[in-house]
Amino acid sequence: MVINHDPSAGRPGSPERFRAAIAVVFFWRQVARVAKVEKKGKSSSKKNAGVPVIDRPLPKDRFFNRELSWLAFNQRVLAQAADESVPILERAKFLAITSSNLDEFMMVRVGGLKILKQRNPTQRDPTGMVAVEQLQAVAKKGHEIVERQYRLLHSEVQPQLESAGIVNIDLDQASETELMAATARFWRDVFPVLSPQAVSPDSFPLLQGLGVHLFVRLRRDPATRLGTAPEIADTTEGVERRDDEPRDDCEYALIPMGRALPRVLPVSGDNRHGYILLENLVSHFVDEFFPGREVVECIPFRLTRNADIEFREDAASDLLGGMEEILENRRFSRPVRLEYGATASDEAVELLQRVHHLHAEDLYPIDGPLDLSFLFRLHSEEGFDHLRDDVWPAKPHPRIDPEESMFATIAAGDLLLVHPYDRFDSVVRLIEEAAVDPDVLAIKQVLYRTSKNSPVVAALEKAAERGKYVTAIVELKARFDEARNIEWAKEMERAGVQVIYGIHGLKTHAKVCIIIRREPQGIVRYMHFGTGNYNEATAKLYSDISLLTCDEVLGRDATSFFNAITGASQPRGMEELAAAPTTMRRRVLDLIEGETQRSLQGGRAQITAKLNALVDTEVIDALYRASRAGVKIRLNVRGQCCLRPGVKGISETIEVVSIVDRFLEHARIFCFHQGGEEKLLIGSADWMPRNLDRRIELLVPVADRTCADRLKEVLEIYFKDNVSRWQMGPDGEYRKPSRGDAPAIRSQRVLYDRVVQAWKKAESSRRVTFRPISADS
């Protein structure tokens, strides 16, 4: 083979001959390396020859990164905003959701990674990445998401809103009527409230996280400068200077938008629903705040601060006071992200970056309004129902009779409610009835997140005021709901409720209410177990499960569980319930291993699970082992999934789907085939280390046949969905399967329609039922 036609190539010492020799050496080294790898592979094969497939070592690349998996979920939500079949105000809402989701991710997950980078920079996650590598990967994906958000806003969402008459007014192009209305609003409502603040690079104030501020660069107006010597020539005269060029005579100021004024301000005129954002209105009139100054630049910016602040319970004598201190510290913790108007000068960006100690990947130039959560406000505007989803009113469970006591209904048989299609009011009604029922002796309840004006809290207070024994475990460490929970805890204590502020070192996340009632046959425990919070507001938006029962065994277990928490002791052995962090992990692993062994013995084995996140490596490895044994595994994971499905020899029998639709999928449901004697369970915990090891959670079996059958139907419909279902591939990418000519199956719509049909049937039956009038009625 001729390498070079140059006659000088063969001369000793020539560069060409030297390079050829190097190439030959490199070639044989590669050959030797390949041979070594092949030999090692053969040796490894021989080593594993007698080892059962399920016991062979798993590859190191079997996990996906948790943070990138979460960002992939936010991309699926963003895809809803891009879906042209979704009404335009719903698309705007999904944009707002992705924005608020990203805020929380930055505060908690990125904040945690930055702390890890400082404290333990060499620690690797299950994928082998150290903190700095994760931060770089997250920043790259985060910038991609933000870029797509604003591309959608400008190219599709905002133009369609304007076509429908919902217009973001640009005062430079506004009509005379709109400009007059905006001017009046500024002088009447805005100017008297806001105050500018002079700042310098050496004296920069602590700014509240997630608040919108204006950064203003100023020069003194030459006409108003005092003490200028006219005889001294200006040596810069005639030299063109750019506005973004640093100047010694520039000064800086901030105008915080604060929280006292609404961000979305209506602007009437021209027969359209006009609005202007507060920061845009102030920017338009910014000169009014600085008389005698020339405004060189005015740009909006927003800081995101680290919310992953640890609370040292071992060093705190007062949990309530400690949590209040955490809330105060969170307001001024280290910034993790800076968002700013894309037109900002280099000088402004460099200053803001320097004073807040941020890296280049923490900077997010925004081509549009900062913080798209203002779109929630537009979504709720009256008069635009045609731009929103059709309303799906929740229905009462067909067995719940408004004229019959909830206790009588539950005593007649367990009830399974599927929210938000079945009304959550039934759960609230049970607690409200318990508060005034003279036969109710005690109520025990865990509260993790509640609504602003919670009827559940009001019922507990009423019960305590009526002399009932009421105990509430209020989790003060529920992130971003700490302030509300502290307020509720104090209020309930004043009403006479025995309040327990969670457990040392753990978050109490279980969803359980126990009502102890005196009946002719003795004491009966009525219980509610759920997968969601006691929050009637989010119960209209989240897909969750409730189980109402007076099962004696579950009652004993629930009481043991609750008293162990309040008494700071170990729970007695429970017959049916499994609790984290004591028995739940072992129960889950045993259930998975049970299916593995059945498959190895030639029996049919199957696991179906619906949960919000799958991150725990021990559980994932158990699922890999089950798959290698031939167990069919179907996982409906809404968000983070670190398991790699469909990999030959590892997870061939595992399918992972994710449902993203109008309601947030939040229920945790599990089904293990168990040789045909299927075991159905609901729970408060995802398969994550924090849930299994660092939280107090419950896993509850659903034994009633009717309830179990309905629960199985709910599980199954998600895997038939061909509208809202995303399929996860071995590469970690999510794709929507092609529907082809098949009829559309939208799981949430199917679940709602089934509830409506059952309700109509029950209502029809009640209309033909004769009810005798008693003397007491």
CA distances from 349 to 115, 339, 341, 352, 449 (A): 24, 10, 10, 5, 38
Task: Report d(CA 269, CA 674) in Å as an integer.
Answer: 67
Task: Report d(CA 397, CA 537) in Å as an integer.
Answer: 18
- Whether 666 is catalytic is no
Do the beta carbons of residue 632 and residue 605 sit within 8 Å?
yes
Q: Which residue has the tokens 């319970």?
A: 313
Task: Report d(CA 566, CA 587) in Å as an integer.
Answer: 23
Task: Report d(CA 261, CA 349) in Å as an integer.
Answer: 27
CB atoms within 10 A of CB 86: 18
* Residue-wise DSSP of 315-356: G-S-HHHHHHHHHHHHHTS-EEEEEEETT--HHHHHHHHHHT
The amino acid at residue 540 is K
Do the beta carbons of residue 431 and residue 456 sit within 8 Å?
yes
| Residues pairing with 203 in the sheet | 200
Q: Give SS3 for 479.
A: coil
CA distances from 97 to 100, 147, 376, 424, 662 (A): 5, 15, 8, 23, 11
Q: Give SS3 for 715.
A: helix
Tokens (6 digits) for 149: 């958000």
Measure CA 161 to chain center: 27
Task: Report d(CA 728, CA 654) in Å as an integer.
Answer: 10
First to last CA, the chain: 108
Burial class, 126, CB count within 10 angstroms (exposed 0-12 / middle 13-18 / buried 19+): middle
Burial class, 143, CB count within 10 angstroms (exposed 0-12 / middle 13-18 / buried 19+): middle
Do the beta carbons of residue 281 and residue 190 sit within 8 Å?
yes
Strands 273-277 vs 264-267: parallel, antiparallel or unpaired? antiparallel
Burial class, 55, CB count within 10 angstroms (exposed 0-12 / middle 13-18 / buried 19+): exposed
Task: Report d(CA 527, CA 501) in Å as an integer.
Answer: 22
The amino acid at residue 538 is T
Task: Report d(CA 563, CA 569) in Å as an integer.
Answer: 8
CA distances from 489 to 36, 336, 500 (A): 67, 32, 9
Residue tagged active-site, from 284, 356, 397, 509 = 509
Task: Report d(CA 115, CA 135) in Å as an integer.
Answer: 11
Residues 6 or more apart from 509 whose CB is under 8 A from it? 448, 475, 684, 685, 691, 695, 696, 697
Task: Report d(CA 327, CA 322) in Å as an integer.
Answer: 9
Q: How many CA atoms lie within 13 A of 229 on its CB side?
A: 4
The catalytic residue positions are: 509
